Amino acid sequence: MQDIAQRLLIIDDDEMFCHVLHRAMSRRGFEVLVAHDAAEALSLGRKYQPELATLDLKLEQESGLKLLPELLELVPDCRVVVLTGYSSIATAVEAIKLGAVNYLCKPADADEVLAALAKEEGDPEAEVADHPPSINRLTWEHIQKVLQEHDGNISATARALGMHRRTLQRKLQKRPVRR
């Protein structure tokens, strides 16, 4: 428990996830605010100046990566952890470049979120995978990289990848391939 309640802004369009994380963080002594979209997040950020935030990478039709610099402009000292069920190396790198202090794959519990928010430095002892990623995973990573390069524009990404837009949309609807 903290002596003074820190404000935590949860930005996620998954209402059940928000409810569970809100309850868990409130029990740990945080003052918790919840936003389900970018406009609501910016409004709450401006009004309450939270010290901490979790930010979903994929907010309905919006990108958490686009919201991240706007949020940090409003609340420069906010420590933001990006959470996603659609993890990729490209989005992890971009999230850190844009100012996130950490990046977690969902599902993540309250203890993992707290550890990610509190972590100040990198870990040179981090585990390195024994096997290279599968071809399917490399394909997923490449699509995510090209999508980032085209600012989330599906049509431009499909053209760059030489595939039909609908095919790309179907691929993006699926969960990422496991490593």
pLDDT in tens, 76-87: 999 999 998 888
CA distance 7 to 47: 12
Q: Domains plus CATH for the chain?
A: 7-118 (3.40.50.2300), 135-173 (1.10.10.60)
- Taken as a whole, the chain contains a residue count of 179
CA distance 8 to 71: 13
What pLDDT does 85 receive? 82
pLDDT in tens, 130-162: 777 777 877 877 888 788 788 888 999 999 999
55: amino acid identity, one letter: L
pLDDT in tens, 24-77: 999 999 999 999 999 999 999 999 999 999 999 988 878 899 999 999 999 999
pTM of the model: 0.75
Average pLDDT over residues 117-138: 78
